[in-house]
Amino acid sequence: MARFDRDLGSKKRGGGSLLMYLHEKYQFTPVSVWNLCCPDLEWQWTILSLPHTRKTYICNIYRPPSGDTDIALSLLGSKITDIYSEGTCDVIIMGDLNINLLDNRDIQSREMADLLKTLPLLTGMICSTSGVHMTPLSVIIT
């Protein structure tokens, strides 16, 4: 299990954290130096290493609804670009972006779509996290 808790220096109220369950039969390497917690974005990264496969970077992400979308997407785009510049690998991003990717009238959705077009990623499973509005805010992107 990899856990990343907010600290007082993050300028966010305490109590929140990110958690990633990692099955013991797989070889994972948490990349703690990449952990980020700021008012616009929280993430934690780990590397999955399997025999006879490319290295896979896994990101658990949370963008609060009050977070600045431009800053969050800029940070995400920069990190993914840095990862792909290292060589052949795969990237999986999963978590709650608080962006409805199915609403192309929404500016945040269009900004996210524009970012995804610039990166060698495909949008995967999109699921609803809100029983009230039934909008898909959580994603898995590979």
**How many domains would you assign to the chain?**
1
pLDDT > 80? residue 3: no
Q: What is the CATH number of the domain that holds 135?
A: 3.60.10.10
The boundaries of the domain holding residue 116 are 2-141
> What pTM value is reported for the model?
0.78
101 pLDDT more than 80: no
pLDDT in tens, 9-60: 555 555 567 778 888 888 888 888 788 878 888 888 999 988 888 899 999 8
Question: Residue 64's pLDDT is what?
Answer: 84
Contacts 24+ apart (CB under 8 A), 107-115: 107/69, 108/69, 111/69, 111/70, 111/73, 112/69, 112/73, 115/73, 115/76, 115/77
